[in-house]
């Protein structure tokens, strides 16, 4: 299994889902998952999805610039993503970056 290919496939799936149906991200998080968003720590799948679906915009389009990954202990991966976020009705895209840490043993399990 090529870690770069896994990371890129995950990132594509994550942001495509985010842009089309943020509630659909629920199955990518677990009860122990944590999201830190602008200093606020949010834990658990339901709470994370509630935060993401409550963001003050309805439509957006992510454009990914970089996907860098490193293996982490116990079969996991650390993925750094950067790119731009275009909000509907806005002239200029916003730059963003996100760090994702996940376990390959639980990835894509429904």
Question: pLDDT tens digits, residue range 50-102?
Answer: 999 999 998 999 999 999 999 887 778 999 999 999 999 999 999 999 999 98
Mean residue pLDDT of the chain comes to: 90
Question: What pLDDT is attached to residue 10?
Answer: 93
Q: Which of 53, 51, 50, 54 is nearest to 20 (CA)?
A: 53
Contact 81, 70 (CB under 8 A): no
Question: What pLDDT is attached to residue 103?
Answer: 79
Angle, CA of 19, 76 and 41, to the nearest 5°: 55
Question: What pLDDT is attached to residue 33?
Answer: 92
Rounded to two decimals, the pTM is 0.88
Q: Look up residue 8 and give its two tokens.
A: 């890129």
Q: Which of 31, 25, 96, 87 is nearest to 59 (CA)?
A: 87
Instruction: Assign domain 3-109 to a CATH class.
Output: alpha beta
């Amino acid at each position: 299994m090529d870690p770069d290919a896994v990371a890129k496939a995950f990132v594509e799936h994550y942001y495509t889902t985010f842009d089309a149906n943020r509630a659909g991200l629920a199955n990518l998080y677990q009860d122990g998952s944590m999201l830190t968003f602008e200093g606020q720590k949010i834990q658990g799948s339901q709470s994370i999805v509630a935060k993401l679906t409550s963001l003050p915009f309805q439509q957006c389009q992510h454009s990914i610039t970089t996907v860098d990954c490193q293996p982490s202990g116990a079969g996991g991966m650390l993925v750094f993503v950067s790119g731009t976020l275009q909000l509907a009705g806005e002239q200029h895209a916003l730059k963003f970056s996100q760090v994702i840490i996940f376990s390959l043993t639980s990835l894509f399990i429904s």
